[in-house]
Chain A
Amino acid sequence: MNKFTHRKAVVSGLMIFVFVIYILQLFNLQVLDGSYKLLAINNSQRIETQFPARGLIYDRHNKLLVYNQAAYDLMVIPRQIKAFDTTELTSILGITPEFLKRNLDKCKKYSRYKASVLVSQITDSKYARLQEKLYKYSGFFIQTRTLRKYNVAHSADVFGYVGEVSQSQIDKDSTYTAGDYIGINGLEKSYENILRGKKGEKILLVDNHNRVMGSYKNGEHDIPAVVGGNLTTTLDIELQEYAYQLMQNKKGGIIAIEPATGEILLKVSSPGYDPQLLVGLERGENYRTLQQNPHLPLFDRTVTATYPPGSIFKTIQGLIGLQEKVITPATMYECHYGNSFNGQFMKCHGHDSPLDLKGGIQNSCNPYFVNVFRKVLENNKYSNVREAYGKWRDYVLEFGLGQCICPDFMNESSGSIPTQEYYDKVLRTQNWFYTYIMSLSIGQGELLITPLQMANIVTCIANRGYYITPHIVRPTDEKHKEQIQRHNLSISKAHFDIIADAMEEAVKKGTARIAACDSISVCGKTGTIQNPSGLDHSAFFAFAPKENPRIAILVYVENGKWGASYGAPIAGLLIEKYLKGKISPRKKGLEKRMLESNLITPQPPEKQQPQESEI
């Protein structure tokens, strides 16, 4: 035995001491400190969002209107970037180094650990080249997305467009993350919840070079994407196409409604634009161009624009007069190129005198309806004109005026039927006299109505006293179905029959003869709206056939001069096309004239802006 045997304990003790420290450190790393588990997941798992394809959009005959095409986004996780060949990347993608740097900085600012879009919507050919080289770029990967593709080059106002979600929208709805697409306008916006589908998640395992090594636990925790729901619109796309052709080089809106169902057959806002312009990388540029166009193609002239309705409003005036029993169909009024009302003169045009109600509508006599309005306002049932106006206004609102009536459009204006309080302020008295507001009787003055609402008026007449909530998308669920309701008017059916007869007369031998179609009884009413800033607007609404009407249509053409010059012929052609499928040879000449007429270019360059109501 040697004298240093006791040192065995020292040596062993030292060794045990070190090993105990190691076990403690292991305990710290593996049990106490949870951060390494997260770091390991960050290292080896990449969560790939699975973007669902947006729902498709069809027309009423199940023709595909809007679908999707594949697009590729270059994604980046800034933390994983290693030095890379910027020149090669920029040349493959066809972008400038500045653009790359700017976007990269943006991505880094968003998050160093989360993936964000570096370059979006890469084309197929660039994608193919990039895919080959991608292994060299640590931290970069490709994400497949879908972009909208359209089968038609018009109706952008119906479809709206899709764009990247904004920060404020992300804050509101946590299902969105930066770079997601969201409907910005039209049906894409109002039916976003149905169209967007549900995003899925795929957990991938990646190696240190960010190469995909397979799915995590065989995809057990993956969430598949749910494809967006499809929409079937009530549009007749062929008719829509034809309407756009007729409205070429004209500004205005057309709305056609199937009276029995409230389905919108036609929604034309002219000038329109190709919806494809607002897809892809050029969207921003195209949007700016559209925005700067003096004819405002982005402005929806069917539901956002509000106009005075003009003479088509006389139908409502007649109905209220009859319902209030202040006139009968036989009530006659004199008119000789106009008439004087307590010192104010109301102009008119040449026609027989005196006229009864039918004659008044057929010839669109202004003084006749001033007289009717006066009778309504000075009715002894009410204590004063102001109260009578309130009653009158209630009738008017029943037609769907002064309110948003279609749940499908987020950009719908309510229009404006002035309130009593409004006139109290303007007239500075509650003691009104009918002449103050008599221009309302012929649809001028402070009335502001959207083309959709005008179409709804004629729908009410076509239905002889009710309308169904106008809609452009066939309801998909119960909640949606409940939104579509029947609205009954308090004016009796008999009165509507009288007005319908008068409108038939107007087409047969009155102001709207040009709208007549062979063998179809069209009931219509023209309107010419005074326009202080240019040529008068042309309006026409009609329904056909007279019994069991299948279409109620409104055509509003800005600067169209007379109701009969553009509104009526275009409406006539559309009715014939819809009911008969073709245009009779007799009307070919008219059709040609409508297709070729140009109300835009010969105009002086000054802006012709329709009035927008904010009241």
Chain B
Amino acid sequence: MRRQNELIKNIDWLSIFLYLVLVFMGWLNIYAAVYNDNHSSILDITQKYGKQLIWIGASGILCFFILLTDSKFFTAFSFILYGLTIGLLVSVLVFGKEVHGARSWFELGGIRIQPAEFAKFATALAIANIMSRHGFKMMRFTSLFQVGIILLIPMSLIILQNDTGSALVYSSFLLVMYREGLHGSILLLVFIIVALFIFTLLYSSLTVLIIIIFSTLIAFLYYRQNKQELYQVVGFLGCCILFLLFIRWLFVWNILNERIVLYSYLATNLVGIYYIYKRKMQHILLVILASWLCIGASITVDYAFDKLQPHQKDRINNLLGIKNDPTGAGYNVNQSKIAIGSGGFSGKGFLQGTQTKFNFVPEQSTDFIFCTVGEEWGFVGSTVVILLFLAFILRLITLAERQRSDFSRIYGYSVACILFFHVIINIGMTIGLAPVIGIPLPFFSYGGSSLWAFTILIFIFLRLDANRLQVFS
């Protein structure tokens, strides 16, 4: 009794409230998205909204059990849970059912279960476990290696299932690692690689090169604040750019001689290196190395992009606005933007959406559920949903920070970051700000696996949080 009273007292009711509000809104929107006059009862279990209600009910039972479980169980059994889900991920490769080209589903009596969804909380537990161990230092190689292994196993298994989207979710652990001491430059590096990737695909080599030169300059300024060195570096890079422009004037610019520009840049650098070697100016060498690294990354992106599957290429191209083909690869995003855009300031009203109801938006009850929100509830409704998610995530971070145990804090951050990744990628793709990666919007997208996985993810943390006072780190 006492334990239960304490649970009721210590559990974070604000999070539970936000969870319930989001789940309820999600259910209403699924109803709106698949609504038709023949099955207008919201409780009709032959329809998706009826089924979703069953999944919601089942989630309630899950919450109940999780909250009754001793919080030590999650610490102690984190690796066993992790091992179990890895086993599931392996077996789904063998026994799984292929849906939309991805072999990531178990089918049990008409109900489909996606193990990748459940791998998230198990991985989060395992990561929290390993990172909270005594002597774990984020920037130590062995530590990084351990974390890398734990992340890479489920990621590669999920990629093998041909579900790249779900695998990318694990990149959200980078933020968790940053919080736990990962050097900021690594996060920055990842950011630069992503930026390079986008720039390489968007702009010509010359532009990318100039961007690279300037960003290395900025990076240099950030780390070395020495006036004399600064002048030398600026002078050197200025020479490089002048030389590039001269080359450009010499040859008429076209795709073919982009290479020439690149080679001439490298040649100028080599001349520079000889000069540096004589004058012993290592700082310029640093800049050159950085720019070469970027060029290398840029070429790699070009090369790697060629190797991507056509639909992935199309989706990325479309996101970056390279191929504007609204009826082809960009059809989904285009229709989704039309649906959301047509909602206007205050929306068309509940069940009044035409774009989602008449199937103009694909996957309108799963990946593109946010279109229904945008169309029927307008800017007001979409903003409310986004702010609710933000509030929920920030609340989770606040909760994580108040934990005494490292395990709970790290797990809390994992929950917040996974949630964040899902929300920004899912909403981002519907409004044309993120590539079309097929991952669900938490609590909104139709499907039991996703709802249960997020429920488990969150309620384990709420259970840990309710117990925070009994833990001494």
The digit string for B173-207, where 1 denotes a CB below 8 A from any CB of A, is: 00100111100000000000000000000000000
Residues A30 and B340 in contact, CB atoms below 8 Å apart: yes
Q: How far is the CA of A12 from the CA of B431 in the complex (A)?
A: 22
Binary per-residue interface labels of chain B (422-440) against chain A in the complex, 1 for a CB within 8 Å, 0 otherwise: 0010011001110000000
- Shortest C-beta distance, B357 to chain A (Å), equals 8
> A residues 173-214 with Cβ under 8 Å of B?
205-209, 213
Q: Which residues on B sit within 8 Å (CB–CB) of A37?
A: 341-342, 344
User: A23, B383: Cβ atoms under 8 Å?
Assistant: yes
> Are B379 and A26 in contact (CB-based, < 8 A)?
yes
Of A11, A16, A43, which contacts B338 at CB under 8 A? A43
Q: Which one of B358, B378, B386, B427 lies within 8 Å of A208 (CB-CB)?
A: B358
Q: Which residue of B lies closest to A2 (CB)?
A: B406
Asked if A50 is an interface residue, CB under 8 A from chain B, the answer is no
Which chain A residues border B180 with CB–CB below 8 Å? 4
Contact A22 B397 (CB under 8 A): no
Summarize A's interface: helix, strand, loop or mixed.
Answer: helix
Q: Mark A37-55, 1 if CB is under 8 A from B, else 0.
A: 1011101110000000000
The distance in angstroms between the C-alpha atoms of A594 and B182, with both chains bound, is: 115
Q: Tell me whether B178 and A12 are in contact (CB under 8 A).
A: no
Cβ of B382 within 8 Å of any chain A Cβ, yes or no, is yes
Minimal beta-carbon separation of A35 from chain B (angstroms): 7
Asked if A10 CB lies within 8 Å of chain B CBs, one says: yes
Within 8 A of B (CB), among A1-33: 2-5, 7-8, 10-12, 14-16, 18-19, 21-23, 25-27, 29-31, 33
For residue B96, CB closer than 8 A to chain A, the reply is no
Residue of A nearest to B420 (CB): A15
B139-186 residues with Cβ-Cβ distance < 8 A to A are 175, 178-181
A14 to B390, CA, bound (A): 11
Chain B's nearest CB lies how many Å from the CB of A424?
Answer: 74
| Nearest-Cβ distance from residue B304 to partner chain A, whole angstroms | 25
Task: Give the distance in Å from the alpha carbon of A464 to the alpha carbon of B272 in the complex.
Answer: 120
**B350 in the interface (beta carbon within 8 A):** no
The answer to whether A16 touches B390 (Cβ under 8 A) is yes
Question: Which range contains the number of B residues in contact with the other chain?
Answer: 35 or more
Q: In the complex, A16→B343 CA distance in Å? A: 24
A30-B379 in contact (CB<8A): yes
Q: What CA separation (Å) do A5 and B401 show in the bound complex? A: 8
A208–B363 CA distance with the chains assembled, in angstroms: 13
Using Cβ atoms and an 8 Å threshold, which residues of chain B touch A110? none
Complex CA–CA separation, A27 to B433 (angstroms): 13
Which residue of chain A has the shortest Cβ distance to B36 in the bound complex? A213
Q: Which residues of A have CB within 8 Å of B179?
A: 4, 7-8, 11
Q: How many A-B residue pairs have CB under 8 A?
A: 116
Q: Which of B378, B387, B393, B420 contacts A30 (CB 8 A)?
A: B378
A44 touches B360 (CB 8 A): yes
B362's nearest neighbour on chain A, judged by CB, is A208
By CB atoms of chain A within 10 A, which of B343, B375, B401 has the most? B343
CB-CB under 8 A from B417, the residues of chain A are 11
User: Complex formed: what's the CA distance from A41 to B353 in Å?
Assistant: 11
Residues of A within 8 A of B389 (CB): 19
Does B337 sit at the interface, judged by CB under 8 A?
A: yes
Whether, in the assembled complex, A99 has its beta carbon less than 8 Å from a beta carbon of chain B, the answer is no
Per a CB cutoff under 8 Å, which of B175, B181, B357, B390 touches A19? Answer: B390
List A contacts of B181 (CB < 8 A): 3-4
Residues of B within 8 A of A341 (CB): none
CB distance from B459 to the nearest CB of A (A): 22
A30-B433 contact, Cβ under 8 Å, with A8-B179, A11-B397: no
Q: In the bound complex, what is the Cα–Cα distance between A16 and B389 (angstroms)? A: 11
Checking A2, A18, A40, A213 against B341 with a beta-carbon cut-off of 8 angstroms, the contacting residue is A40
* Chain A residue nearest to B361 in the complex (CB): A208
Chain B residue with the shortest CB-CB distance to A33:
B341
Which chain A residues lie closer than 8 Å to B401 at the CB level? 5, 8
Q: Which residues of B contact A10 (CB under 8 A)?
A: 178
Query: What CA separation (Å) do A2 and B132 show in the bound complex?
Result: 12
Which single residue of chain A is at the shortest CB-CB distance from B427?
A22
Given contacts A4-B181, A29-B431, A36-B337, contact A44 B175 (CB under 8 A): no
> Mask for A530-568, Cβ within 8 A of B = 1, else 0?
000000000000000000000000000000000000000
Question: Is residue B47 within 8 Å, beta carbon to beta carbon, of the partner chain?
Answer: no
Chain A residues with CB under 8 Å of B354's CB are 40, 43-45, 205
- Bound-state Cα–Cα, A4 to B397, Å: 14
Partner of A36, one of B342, B390, B394, B433: B342
Determine which of A12, A22, A205, A206 lies in contact with B424 in the assembled complex, contact meaning CB atoms within 8 Å.
A22
Q: Which residues of B contact A3 (CB under 8 A)?
A: 181
Decide yes or no: A36 and B340 within 8 Å by CB, A4-B179, A19-B390, A208-B359 being known contacts: yes
Q: In the complex, what residues of A have CB within 8 A of residue B341's CB?
A: 29-30, 33, 35-37, 39-40
A10 to B181, CA, bound (A): 12
Docked pose: A22 CA to B420 CA in angstroms: 13
Is B26 at the interface (CB under 8 A from chain A)? no
Cβ distance A427 to chain B, nearest Cβ, rounded Å: 77
Asked if A25 and B431 sit within 8 Å, CB to CB, the answer is: yes
Kindly provide the distance from the CB of A78 to the nearest chain B CB, expressed in whole angstroms: 12
Asked if A30 and B358 make an inter-chain contact with CB atoms under 8 angstroms apart, the answer reads no
A-B pairs with beta carbons under 8 Å apart, 22 shown: A8-B179, A15-B390, A15-B394, A15-B420, A16-B390, A16-B394, A19-B386, A19-B387, A22-B424, A30-B378, A30-B382, A31-B379, A35-B341, A36-B338, A36-B340, A37-B341, A40-B339, A40-B341, A40-B375, A44-B354, A206-B358, A209-B359
Q: List 5 additional A-B contacts (Cβ < 8 Å) besides A8-B397, A19-B424.
A: A11-B175, A22-B433, A26-B383, A33-B341, A43-B360
Q: Report, nearest first, the 4 A-B pairs whose CB atoms are least far apart.
A: A36-B341, A40-B342, A207-B358, A44-B354
